[in-house]
Amino acid sequence: MINYSIIIPHKNTPDLLQRCLDSIPIRDDIQVIVIDDNSDVDKVDFEFFPRWKGNHYEYYLTKEGKGAGYARNVGLQHAVGKWLVFADADDFFTDDLHGLMDETIGAEEDLVYFDYKNVLSEDISKEVEARTWYRACFFDYLKGKEGSEEKLRTSVVVPWCKLIKRDLVESHSVRFEEVKWGNDVFFSTLIAIKARKISFNKIVAYVLTERKDSLASDFIKSMKELKIRLMEAVKSDELFKANGFHKTDLSIVLLNYALDKFGFWWLVRFEVFSFSNCRVSKATLSFLKSIVKKKMTKHLKIQ
């Protein structure tokens, strides 16, 4: 009986993928599925493709090159486990994944979050503080702070650090968006909304790595990327609010990040660039108006 299906999209990082596979415990109730997203032949030796040492290992070599969202959807087509686990090929698991799995097999929850740590990919002995906001959500929930469950459901819009009942995914036909950036946001939104019961396990079972050439390391480097990410964020914000979650602000988080990184006038140019999508334009224009209002209020106070 397969209790866990671990799905890993991969592109051009075979050594890191092997590190990830080596971190997965050898258990007969685990199915590991790797989906290669049309890697370059000069970066991957397909005759000696990375392997997991367990019995239930499958890998699929896709040629469409549609990104991690498409690759994960291919993985979902082949998953048979009771629980789904997602990992990025450049991350890996801790030895405590084994114990976490033992604890979760018979859990009644639809969605179980678990803890992680951040390290440098080139030197995994060095922990870093990047991308720690999800952990703040975890521990607010653990402490029972008011509004912490809604914050946990609406803020942790990544597929890793979650054990997800496959029945939840299949019964609601949940799939990843097949876009270059932000493919996991809408999937995570639907999972969070549809999960009847959630919990958090403080076992640190995942290691999130930071490396220079990953999509996450150079977050929002073009107007095109911001537009796609913002489209996904606005869709998620709207869906959360339609289902009674009123404190979600994924689009505002993105725009604040872009404001800090590029400045006000870059966002003004982005507003002109994005006018073809009404929802994105509306969100950006509203945000820019709020910034102008704050600046004018501050100016008037100084006068």
Distance between CA atoms of residues 58 and 257, nearest Å: 38
pLDDT at 52 (0 to 100): 98
CATH code at 4-210: 3.90.550.10
Confidence (pTM): 0.92
Is residue 169 very low, low, confident or very high in pLDDT (cuts 50, 70, 90)? very high
SS3 string of the chain?
CCCEEEEEEECCCHHHHHHHHHCCCCCCCEEEEEEEECCCCCCCCHHHCCCCCCCCEEEEEECCCCCHHHHHHHHHHHCCCCEEEECCCCCEECCCHHHHHHHHCCCCCCEEEEEEEEEECCCCCCECCCCCHHHHHHHHHHCCCCCHHHHHHHHCCCCCCEEEEHHHHHHCCCCCCCCCCCCCHHHHHHHHHHCCCEEEEEEEEEEEEECCCCCCCCCCCCHHHHHHHHHHHHHHHHHHHHCCCCCCCHHHHHHHHHHHHHCHHHHHHHHHHCCCCHHHHHHHHHHHHHHHHHHHHHHHHHC
Is residue 216 very low, low, confident or very high in pLDDT (cuts 50, 70, 90)? low
pLDDT at 217 (0 to 100): 56
Q: What is the mean pLDDT of residues 7-21?
A: 97
| Minimum mean pLDDT range among 56-60, 125-129, 130-134, 139-143 | 130-134
pLDDT at 133 (0 to 100): 84
pLDDT at 246 (0 to 100): 86
pLDDT at 296 (0 to 100): 67
Is residue 303 very low, low, confident or very high in pLDDT (cuts 50, 70, 90)? very low
Instruction: Tell me how many degrees the CA angle 281-185-239 measures, rounded to the nearest 5.
Output: 65
Over 60: is that where the pLDDT of 154 sits?
A: yes
- Residue boundaries of the structural domains of the chain: 4-210, 223-302
Which residues on adjacent β-strands are paired with residue 119?
127, 209
- pLDDT averaged over every residue in the chain: 92
